[in-house]
Every structure is written in C-alpha cells, then in structure tokens.
Amino acid sequence: MGHTQAQKAENRERIVAATARRIREQGLERPAIAELMREVGLTHGGFYKQFGSRDELMGEAVERVMAETRTRMEGVVDGTDDPLAAVARAYVSAEHRDDVGGGCGLPALSAEVTHADTRARDAYRAQVEAYVAGLATLDDTSRDLAMVRVSAMVGAILISRALQGTPESDAFLDAVQDAFVSSDGVLRGTAPDGTRVG
C-alpha cells in the first residue's frame, strides 16, 4: 500500500512538472490531457486517479510555475553587492528570453490568466505582488516604482520573445537592462542629476 501511494505521488509530480513546462510554452488552453499523459508515460484514464478535472491540474501547475519563479529569483540576489542589477541581468536576458519552458510564469501566462480559474489567477496575482514587494525592498524604493520595474521586466521579455530572431529583440533587452544596471538608469530610482525619484 505504501508503495502504491508513493508511486501515485511520484506520478502526480511528473504530471504537474510536465504541465508546468508545457503551459509556459503553449499557454493554458493548448496542452491536451491525453498528450500530457503520453509525455509522462501514463494512460489517459490514469489522469482521473490524480485530478478531479483539467482545471485542478492547471491551477496546481500555475502554482508550481510561480513557486519555481520565486525560488529562482531569490537565489539571484544572494551574496551580491548590487541586488537590483543582479535581478535585472538574470531576468532581462537572452537566456531568459530563450528559455520559455523554464522561464518566469508572468510573461508566459499574462495573455491567458484572465480566462483561467480562481486558483490560477490567485497564483499569478501572488507572484506579481511578490515581485513588486521584492523590487521595492531591494533598495527601499516606492511601491509605484517597483510596479514600473515589474512592468518593464515582464514587458521586455514579452516583446523580445515576439521579436526573436531580429536585432530589435536584443535591443529591447539591452535598453531595459541598462535602465536597471546603469548608475543613472531610470529604473534605479534616481534622476539624471542623481536625486532620488522613488
């Protein structure tokens, strides 16, 4: 019996992990249950031994995406002298742009989450709030400036992915990263004359 329960938990983990990757790549509507179950080597009928509905799986997968996002970004600032620049370099990067399946859930799901169920929307909203709070705390700036920072980061990834393969894709990343990293960057909370604006 213990083995059966352990196997069931392992199977659920594999399904959620595969779904978390797929919804980053394809959105919330596209991954079919049969397709996901084939990917993890399980039968379509086995899905209902794990989940009551597709919405339940999608809600859990969105929560997983956001938890992974939080963990990854928390590790970026450890031991750095300039945490804001470190976050910008990690987030607003070609590596992040190109890693759709393993990247942040905000740009991956922004266009679809409004049509999702409450659990998925709540997970998305909680991640937005975590980013806003975190970016405000990094250099004790205002909530408003932190909201602008989140918008710039997520927007840069969204646009650079849409323009991928063109010089403009890299240009968007470079411009937004520079706004965070440069000492007089507009997203650092200082005006060009050095006075604080956040």
Which tokens in the block code for residue 98? 């190109």
Q: Where are the domains of the chain?
A: 2-188
Which tokens in the block code for residue 78? 């450890």
Kindly state the average pLDDT of the residues 104-113. Answer: 90
Kindly state the average pLDDT of the residues 137-143. Answer: 90
Backbone angles phi, psi at 196, to 5 degrees: -80, 135
| Residue 91, helix vs strand vs coil | helix
66 within 8 A of 105, measured Cβ to Cβ:
yes
pLDDT for the residue numbered 185: 80
**CB-facing half-sphere around the CA of 79: CA atoms within 13 A:** 1
pLDDT for the residue numbered 1: 44
Q: How far apart are CA 128 and CA 138, in angstroms?
A: 16
pLDDT for the residue numbered 196: 54
Q: How far apart are CA 140 and CA 50, in angstroms?
A: 44
Annotation: CATH topology of 2-188? Tetracycline Repressor; domain 2 (1.10.357)
Of the ranges 13-17, 70-74, 88-92, 120-124, which one carries the lowest mean pLDDT score? 70-74
Out of 42-56, 164-178, 179-193, the most confident range is 164-178
Confidence check: pLDDT of 8 > 70:
yes
**Entry pTM:** 0.84
